[in-house]
Amino acid sequence: MSGPDTPTTISVGGDYDVVIGSGVLGRVADLLGADVQRVLVVHPPTLPELTSRLTGALEAQGYAVHVAEVPDAEAAKTAAVAADLWSLLGRAGFTRTDAVVGLGGGTVTDLAGFVAASWLRGVGVVQVPTTLLGMVDAAVGGKTGINTAEGKNLVGAFHPPAGVLCDVDVLSTLPQADLVAGLAEVVKCGFIADPVILDLVETAVADDAARARSAGNPHLRELIERAVRVKAEVVAADLRESSLREILNYGHTFGHAIEQVEHYTWRHGEAIGVGMVYVAELARLTGHLAGPEGDALVARHRSVLESLGLPTTYAAGRWDELLTAMRRDKKSRGSTLRLVVLEGLARPTRLVGPDDALLQAAYGLVSRRADAPAH
């Protein structure tokens, strides 16, 4: 790992770089390319100071900067918001050599990437994630998309960015609940590929549980770098999610179903935390995780996630809604569900078409009483 004052650059298949460090926000122009004249900065309403800094820096370097404020969270990822941005690009005369910058959390980077992918069949995009979730997941990999009433990210495109800038300094102002939710995606990378991540989380919690859940976590930058490396290696091997890349969806089929059933009032990481426990239990039911080692790995899912303050259970009595949402998952083929499960620590595999009775039984193992707290 690099020193605290030296940015880390992680290449994604040699196609683009993810830069991680302190004070790297000013490097956006380095990633835009020489031919860009016009830049659209897409941002949420919660980042006025960062937006002003970024647009000021770009204007000082001679770019014609256009700014679009979009709704916060999942409300940004709609066809109506995307259409408004397309209209702005058209009025401003954006050409194929111009670019979009996504400044914000994962919903903003998803939206900005999709608008860039669809305008003139593809213009450049630089992603500047400002949340932990955005840094380790949404902004890296080139998956872009918006939601519909029928499900999350059902409309989208694969569109690799020109680069990604992860300025860890911005996490100091991130609400703790959002940082903890982002840690769920980091933990996911630990279970599917890099167990050192789990060791670092458990060490931090043991040393100071409150600090482990904050931007003061002494291992936070290393956790970010390790999670980005996992994603970069998988994405480089499978850009369009035809095979290996599906492992990055560990816990996501059930987690996305929770998000949809809850009308996106749950944070993504909270839902994915429950989703990981669900597929761990499913793997035990299907025999993929067996014996004392399998039992211990299922228990480790709960202990790691709960130590960070993430939920590991979901309300009982909602199976029909959840199953309907799961069957709309992007990874499904026809009526056949495809889920990622573990055969052991860092040994993911695909589970195709599991019996409905086993799916429901796993739900029973993550269900809680109706009067129990949701989070």
**Is 92 a known ligand-binding residue?**
no
**Is 262 a known ligand-binding residue?**
no
Amino acid code (one letter) for 355: D
Amino acid code (one letter) for 8: T
Q: Which of 26, 27, 25, 21 is nearest to 221 (CA)?
A: 21
Q: Among residues 27, 221, 252, 331, which one is catalytic?
A: 252
> Phi, psi (5° rounding) for residue 260?
-70, -45
Distances (CA, A) of 208 to 202, 306, 310: 10, 15, 16
Q: How do beta strands 38-43 and 348-352 pair?
A: unpaired
Q: Among residues 231, 267, 284, 330, which one is catalytic?
A: 231
Q: Among residues 268, 288, 302, 330, which one is catalytic?
A: 268
**Is 72 a known ligand-binding residue?**
yes
Which pair of structure tokens corresponds to residue 267? 């944070």
**Is 83 a known ligand-binding residue?**
no
- Asked about 231 being catalytic, the answer comes back as yes
- Asked about 185 being catalytic, the answer comes back as yes
- Asked about 330 being catalytic, the answer comes back as no
Q: Among residues 27, 219, 256, 267, which one is catalytic?
A: 256
- Torsion over CA: 344, 325, 72, 37 (sign): positive
**Is 73 a known ligand-binding residue?**
yes
- Asked about 219 being catalytic, the answer comes back as no
Burial code (b: 16+ CB inside 10 Å, e: under 16) for 274-309 equals bbbbbbbbbbbbbebbeeeebeebbebbbebbebbb
- Asked about 375 being catalytic, the answer comes back as no
DSSP state of 228: H
**Is 143 a known ligand-binding residue?**
yes
**Is 301 a known ligand-binding residue?**
no
Q: Among residues 27, 147, 153, 185, which one is catalytic?
A: 185
- Asked about 245 being catalytic, the answer comes back as yes
**Is 64 a known ligand-binding residue?**
no
**Is 185 a known ligand-binding residue?**
yes
User: Angle at CA 2, nearest 5°, toward 110 and 347?
Assistant: 60
Q: Among residues 27, 226, 249, 270, which one is catalytic?
A: 249
8 Å CB contact between 27 and 54: no
- Torsion over CA: 278, 284, 289, 295 (sign): positive
Residues sharing a CB contact under 8 Å with residue 178, sequence separation 6 or more, in sequence order: 105, 131, 132, 133, 267
**Is 268 a known ligand-binding residue?**
yes
- Asked about 221 being catalytic, the answer comes back as no
- Asked about 121 being catalytic, the answer comes back as yes
Q: Among residues 69, 202, 222, 241, which one is catalytic?
A: 241
Residue count of the chain, please give it: 375
- Asked about 143 being catalytic, the answer comes back as yes
**Is 265 a known ligand-binding residue?**
no
**Is 343 a known ligand-binding residue?**
no
**Is 236 a known ligand-binding residue?**
no
Residues involved in catalysis: 121, 143, 185, 231, 241, 245, 249, 252, 256, 268
Binding-site annotation: residue ranges for Zn(2+): 185, 252, 268
Binding-site annotation: residue ranges for NAD(+): 72-77, 130-131, 143, 152
Binding-site annotation: residue ranges: 72-77, 130-131, 143, 152, 185, 252, 268
